[in-house]
Structure 1
Amino acid sequence: MYYYYLKMGMSKMLRLKKKAKSSIRKKIRKVSLLNSLLNLFACWVLLFSTAIYFIKDYEQRNMELLSTSLSSSLIAATVFDDSYNANRKFNALGQQQMFDSAVLYAKDGHVIARWEHSQQTSYFWKYLHSWLYPNKKKVEIFHDQQVVGWLFIVGNDSYLFNFILYSVLILTIGMVLIFIFSFVLSSIMYRKILVAMNQITTKINHVIHTKDFTKRLPDNSLKEFQNFSDNVNSLISEIERLNNDLVHENKTLAIKAYQDSLTGIDNRAAFINQLQFMLSENGPYSTFCILFMDGDKFKHINDTWGHAAGDKVLQEVGNRLKTMVKEEDCVARLGGDEFAMILSKTENQHQVEEFISVIHSKFEEPIEIASDHAIPFSLTIGFTMADKDEEVSDILLRADSHMYLNKKTER
């Protein structure tokens, strides 16, 4: 079983390894290498084939000249059937590798002299020899305008071996040097492409990971990459606009979620959230005060002056209460004509009662509901001290009970 799972794991790793994607740098390098090799190989074959073709043409012309010269020097040996001098000439020229084989025939067909190269050669050189010299060169020997014999001669290709060897070596070295030069040159040219692509991918990755949509791709000297950069920059600009709109909308929604739409002060959700923070371990004060406030005879205002006048009263109440709290405190409208406060730096009941007296004095001035009319308005206030080890519901219940107790007493 262990061997089975090990085998499965190894095969999975191999599949993943096979699926691993290569970089564009490697792809470009492979294409460049392959292109250079194919072009150089084609050039090598073309140059080598051209050289061999001209060698064959040169060798044919050389054989014409050699056979003509040799036949002229063998006239006397043919007429007098002088095999000694003929063989001596053949041997001297053959040793100099002027030809591969030569046979001198008399007019009656018998052999006067013969010379052949006895060296063993490979199949390739035999094939090359037969391509260069497909047939024996036949030359008629004339004396007094009559044919007195025939010379059959086959050229020697021993020097061709050295030529091919050195030409292949020189061509190969030259092609290798050209290949190295072209590879370096193409690498320099491709580097511009890779640098441009790296700049684009780096900027895009930066935008993706940092969400910084203010960055833009730089200009590029290559037309295609410049067009691509312009398109990407346009896309980033559009994303930046949409992101800014989304951020603004989220901020607006967050403000609306924790703000009373009529008075502009905090709503019940913001008040509860602040109270939970004050009771948490991160809360800055161990003891603080909660105030609950309820408008007196607010229903009478709505019934007498209308809901528009009632809304003006609530707005003015919110404005007056907001001016009385510090930055770290909270004032909120819980709903209807109910308001609440969190006083963070109030440590005892005496300080709370003094603050409540200030609130009452603040509302001694009537609230103007029209340009020529103002009405009196007062608040019934209840409070409770809160500690970190208490529950939110218990604190709210205590403050609310105290407020309604005061309302009954005032009646």
Structure 2
Amino acid sequence: MFTMETYAKQNLQLLSQTVLERVQPAVVFRDKGAIDQILDDYTSEHAIRSIHVYDPQQKLLAESTKKIAHTSVMQDLMDRWFLHDPVKLIVIHHKKKVGELVLYGSSENILHFLKTIIIGLAISMFFIVIALLWSVNITYRQIMQAIKPLTHIAQLVSDQKAYNLRFPNNHIHEFQNLNTVFNELLEEIQIWHTHLQKENRQLSFQAHHDQLTSLPNRHYFYQELFNIFENPQYRHSSALLFIDNNKFKVINDEYGHLAGDAVLKEMATRLRLSVRYEDFIARLGGDEFAIILHSIHHTDHLRTIAEGVLASCEQPLEFNGQTIHFGFSLGVAFSQFAENPEDLIMQADQAMYKAKSLNPHWFLYKPEI
């Protein structure tokens, strides 16, 4: 488009020079009849919208406009795009300005050229498309006859993830080469798929479990906690235990962080042994643990579990020749007294801090009536 615009402006400039040379004598002698004739000749025979001739005082001497019934919208757009600005030339006689020529070009020739190109391209494209359709149809039929066995195997691999399948031999040499490559690829995919499944299981475990104790982490804990309030089976028969190590900071300061880590791992082991197999134990962070209990229907059952958890820390831990004593504080809350997971956590947390000042160190949250 830039090339066409440049060409149109250069052509209009040359045409303007020609008009200027023709009209100069008539302008000098103020021969309006001759000027009108010259202007009419050029507007009718050339791509010119209008020509205007002014005297040195910018008074209109003559003008001519192309006489056409109407112009197309496309031509109007191209006139404004390519030839929006007129060509202005000074009429000089004996080094003195005797007038001014203002010429507005028309894009009719450009439009005609574009139409010719578009029609030619359209006709060419039509025959090309017809030839391509015929060729594609023939080729398609031949390929489909050879590709049906391949699509069947590929569909099974896609739907059933049956990476152990292999593509059969094909009578077309090119397809046979393709089958060989695909079979090699399937073998590699089968190996990688097995490896990926193993890694996904490992990543899933790492994402949901604490690295030090291998217990479920805080994220996993919240999933289980929300499940209590979404499942009617657990809504009124579950309990939450918050567990805090009473001497963990002292242990870290006195025996070091390695000893602290050993205590946390020992806590995880003892907690597992002190509750039922189906109970959910998680490490929330630091020395804070939580246990979600299901099928708890009376306080005595809960008391037995709480006392068992407290009893699990009676024996000290032997670490690097040192005897380390530690104890728990337990806060307990029933799910039936909580409106939502956050409410249940708040109740268990309050009960745990209340338990620190009691002996034994456990407390059951009781809502105010």
Give unmatched runs, 5+ long, in structure 2: 1-128, 362-369
How far apart are the structure 2 equivalents of 1:217 and 1:287? 56
Separation in structure 1 between the aligned mates of residue 135 and residue 247 of structure 2, nearest angstrom: 79
Do the aligned partners of 1:207 and 1:215 also contact (CA within 8 Å) in 2?
yes
CA distance change for structure 1 residues 376 and 228 in 2, over 3 Å: closer, same or farther? same
Please say if 1:368 is aligned against 2:356: no
Alpha-carbon shift at residue 251 of structure 1 (Å) = 2.4
The CA deviation at 1:333 is: 0.7
Deviation by residue 1:49-106 (Cα, 9 ceiling, x = unmatched) = xxxxxxxxxxxxxxxxxxxxxxxxxxxxxxxxxxxxxxxxxxxxxxxxxxxxxxxxxx
Residues 383 and 311 (structure 1 numbering): CA distance in 2 closer, same or farther, change over 3 Å? same
> Alignment partner of 1:364: what SS?
coil
Could you tell me which residue of structure 2 aligns to residue 87 of structure 1?
none
How far has the Cα of 1:289 moved from its partner? 1.0
**1:109-153 C-alpha deviation (Å, 9 max, x unpaired):** xxxxxxxxxxxxxxxxxxxxxxxxxxxxxxxxxxxxxxxxxxxxx
Q: Which residue of 2 aligns with 1:326?
A: 276
Aligned partner of 1:251 in structure 2 is 201
Quick one: which of 353, 366, 369 aligns to 1:404?
A: 353
Matches within 5 A, 1:204-353: 204-220=154-170, 223-281=173-231, 283-284=233-234, 286-353=236-303
Report the CA distance shift for 1:201/1:391 in structure 2 as closer, same or farther (over 3 A): same
Q: Evaluate the alpha carbon distance shift between residue 355 and residue 327 of structure 1 in structure 2; reply closer, same or farther with a 3 A threshold.
A: closer
**Mapped partners of 1:194, 1:274: distance in 2:** 53
Q: Go from structure 1 to structure 2 and tell me whether the alpha carbon gap of 1:338 and 1:259 turns closer, same or farther (over 3 Å shift).
A: same
Q: Which runs of 5+ in 1 are unaligned?
A: 1-17, 31-189
TM normalised by structure 2 equals 0.56
User: Aligned-pair distance for 1:229?
Assistant: 0.8
| Structure 1 counterpart SS, 2:166 | coil
Q: How far is 1:194 from its partner?
A: 5.5
Aligned-pair CA distance for 1:363: 1.4
- Once residues 212 and 337 of structure 1 are traced to their aligned partners in structure 2, the CA distance between those partners, rounded to angstroms, is 47
Is the partner of 2:243 in helix, strand or coil?
Answer: strand
Does residue 391 in structure 1 map to residue 350 in structure 2? no
Looking at structure 2, the residues matched to 375 and 313 of structure 1 have their Cα atoms a distance apart, in angstroms, of 8
Does the CA-based 8 Å contact 2:274-2:305 persist in structure 1? no
Kindly state the Cα deviation for residue 221 of structure 1 after the two structures are TM-superposed: 5.2
Distance 1:285 1:211, change over 3 A: same
Superposed displacement of residue 311, structure 1: 0.2
Q: In structure 2, what is the Cα distance between the partners aligned to 1:24 and 1:214?
A: 37
Cα distance in 2 for residues equivalent to 1:326 and 1:361:
15
SS at match of 2:267: helix
Give how far 1:283 is off: 4.4
* Aligned counterparts, 1:9-408, within 5 A: 27=138, 196-220=146-170, 223-281=173-231, 283-284=233-234, 286-370=236-320, 372-387=321-336, 390-408=339-357
Check conservation: 1:268, 1:332, Cα contact below 8 A: yes
Change (3 A) 1:303 1:24: farther
Query: Does the residue aligned with 1:273 lie in a helix, a strand or coil?
Result: helix
Distance 1:284 1:241 in 2: 42
CA contact (8 A) 1:279 1:388 kept: no
SS for the counterpart of 1:263 is: coil
Q: Summarize the Cα distance change of 1:23–1:377 in structure 2 as closer, same or farther, 3 Å threshold.
A: farther
Paired position in structure 1 for 2:44: none
* RMSD between aligned residues: 3.1
Task: Tell me the percent identity.
Answer: 32
**How many equivalent pairs are there?**
232
Judge conservation of contact 1:280–1:388 (CA < 8 Å) in 2.
Answer: no
Partner of 1:163: none
* Superimposed CA distance per residue, residues 138-177 of structure 1 (whole angstroms, 9 cap, x where no aligned partner): xxxxxxxxxxxxxxxxxxxxxxxxxxxxxxxxxxxxxxxx
Distance in 1 separating the partners of 2:167 and 2:183: 6
Deviation (angstroms), 1:358: 1.1
Bigger mean CA offset, 275-284 vs 21-30 = 21-30
Secondary structure of the 1:302 match is helix
Question: 8 Å contact 2:310–2:328 — kept in the other structure?
Answer: yes
CA–CA distance in 2 between the matches of 1:316 and 1:299? 16
* Corresponding letter in the other structure for 1:319: T
Cα distance in structure 2, aligned partners of 1:212 and 1:316:
45
Distance 1:282 1:212, change over 3 A: farther
Give the drift of 1:395.
Answer: 0.3
The answer on whether the counterparts of 2:235 and 2:335 sit within 8 Å (CA) in structure 1 is no
| Residue identity matched to 2:217 | N
Q: In the aligned structure 2, how far is the partner of 1:274 from the partner of 1:349?
A: 22
Deviations 1:1-36 (A, max 9, x none): xxxxxxxxxxxxxxxxx99x9899962698xxxxxx
**2 CA distance for matches of 1:342 and 1:295?**
18
Residue 234 of structure 1, CA deviation? 1.7
Q: In 2 relative to 1, CA 24–207 (structure 1 residues): closer, same or farther, beyond 3 Å?
A: farther
Give the structure-1-normalised TM-score.
0.51
1:274 and 1:357, CA in 2 relative to 1: closer, same or farther beyond 3 A? same
